Copies of this chain bind each other. A is one copy, B any other.
Amino acid sequence: MTDLSAVLARADENMPQSLERLFDLVRIKSISTDPAYSADCRKAAEWLAAELNALGFEASVRDTTGHPMVVGHHAGSNADAPHVLFYGHYDVQPIDPIELWEDDPFDSKLKEFGNGRKVITGRGTADDKGQLLTFVEACRAYKDVHGSLPVRVTILFEGEEESGSPSLKPFLDAHAEELKADYALVCDTGMWDGETPAITASLRGLVGEEIIVKAASRDLHSGMYGGAAANPIQILSKILAGLHDENGRVTLEGFYDGVEETPSNLKASWEAMTGGDVDLLEEVGLSELSGEKGRSILELIWARPTCEFNGITGGYTGQGFKTVIAAQASAKVSCRLVGDQDPEKIRASFRAYVRSKIPADCSVEFIEHGGSPAIQLGYDSPLLTKAKTALSDEWPKPAVIVGVGGSIPIVGDFQKLLGMESLLVGFGLNDDRIHSPNEKYDLTSYHKGIRSWARILAALAKK
């Protein structure tokens, strides 16, 4: 029996107790957004710190101005192995509407889900208590077999993820030295499907801008002025319409600087994953790909930049009609970024383009609404390769590399504040109903999730 197979066997043996521990943690009503549950949040943090200390971590509850953090350190058995920071969150969403729950949201239990599928019921089982325990229980199996962990591990559990993480950045800033590791492991994402594990390797960045086009000093009557006076809705429409060419590409100067073509094997894998279907669109009543032509849906959402119009308003927008020429019109525009696109260069290019379209007697104001670069794990990074192999060894189907069209703030924070890449691996499924009544976590997700982390830790320990 190899080192790893002994650990995996131990993880299997531990399952009944692993399950009881998850039930215990779910029972603690750690709803972060509701002050009535503040004591529960602290209780969850204390429960976790105690578990980590029992596993040989040096762990403690750390106060913040909100709910506490849990930080634990374990030196591991091999000083040459990498140092990883594992992140999860112990807080959960509120449970209303309570009448829609089939089972008590906090009295977690194992339940038959049809077709022999077993699930763990309760709020937070999938988001994120069950997921974070997959890592803790993997550590436990290692500890049980080898008395230590194969790599140096720091653990950070947050208690405010479901309420905007107000304390996170200040905490990372204040404890940067303590928390900095070679890379982060984050377990708060999902599988591609029940048989196919997924590693999230890219997250798009964002530039947000609001533009306010101003024409006349007051609203004008379209009879008295129409045909002679500038109409800011018309100016704005021309500006927006000019931002994409006939092939759906963004026309801003320098927009594609830093955008690289996705490796062809990855593109092929993404096309294979959907088989050309656009289910994601069909779920929301659409059937055709918009945006850049000649690219698959997953590539468009995960690996291509966009320029989207998120809001527009001007003139009379109530019931009926008013023959007015508005004094101003405004739009909110955001670009999703990939690769090495520079948010501030794109903002500057956008503003220059808009200004070039404003008539001499009109003006434009800009309001900045955030900017963050994309995050991308090198597709050929050893971290990714090792994790992919480890996951593929555990699950029926090989692991896939996926992207996220939006941002996951913690990943940006780790990158920006701690200079650390993140490996996002999780075992959630699309039907887990996170944030909704009847949240559940598949027993398979939990069990094979634990085994997956054991495999990943073993892989990371190797040169």
List the interface of chain A (C-beta within 8 A of B). Answer: 204, 206, 208, 210, 215-218, 220-231, 233-234, 236-238, 240-242, 244, 278, 280-281, 284-292, 297, 300-301, 304-306, 308-317, 320-326, 329-332, 334, 336, 359-362, 369-370, 404-407
Contact = CB atoms under 8 A, between A and B. Distances in A.
Nearest to A208: B321
A293 to B, nearest CB: 12
A309 B315 contact: yes
A405 B225 contact: yes
A286 B215 contact: yes
A450 to B, nearest CB: 29
B285 A311 contact: no
Contacts of A321: 208, 210, 310, 332, 334, 369-370
Contacts of A210: 321
A336 B226 contact: yes
B310 A322 contact: yes
Given A227-B300, A407-B223, A233 B311 contact: yes
A322 B333 CA distance: 10
A229 B334 contact: no
A45 to B, nearest CB: 30
A322 B336 CA distance: 13
Contact of A315 (B278, B311, B359, B406): B311
Nearest to A363: B285
Nearest to A298: B228
Contact of A336 (B227, B230, B317, B405): B227
A192 to B, nearest CB: 15
A312 to B, nearest CB: 5
15 contacts: A206-B323, A221-B405, A222-B306, A223-B404, A224-B405, A225-B301, A227-B300, A231-B309, A288-B360, A309-B314, A316-B332, A317-B330, A321-B332, A321-B334, A323-B334
A316 B310 contact: yes
Contacts of A218: 284-285
A193 B229 CA distance: 22
Contacts of A320: 369
Contacts of A404: 223
A6 to B, nearest CB: 41
A325 B301 contact: no
A237 B360 CA distance: 22
Contacts of A289: 228
A322 B404 CA distance: 18
Given A288-B359, A312-B233, A315-B310, A301 B224 contact: yes
A149 B314 CA distance: 54
Contacts of A285: 215-218, 361
Contacts of A222: 306, 308, 310, 334, 336, 405-406
B244 A287 contact: no
A284 B218 CA distance: 7
A309 B225 CA distance: 13
A421 to B, nearest CB: 20
A297 B227 CA distance: 8
A313 B309 contact: no
Given A206-B323, A244-B234, A323-B310, A227 B284 contact: no
B281 A228 contact: yes
Contacts of A229: 281, 284, 286, 290
Contact of A225 (B226, B230, B280, B316): B280
A329 B119 CA distance: 42
Given A281-B361, A310-B324, A311-B316, 10 more contacts: A221-B405, A224-B406, A225-B405, A226-B334, A227-B290, A227-B300, A233-B331, A286-B361, A316-B332, A321-B369
A364 to B, nearest CB: 15
Contacts of A206: 223, 323
A345 to B, nearest CB: 20
Contact of A223 (B230, B284, B291, B406): B406
B405 A290 contact: no
A324 to B, nearest CB: 5
Contacts of A217: 284-285
A66 B334 CA distance: 54
Contact of A241 (B237, B309, B362): B237
Contacts of A230: 286, 288, 290
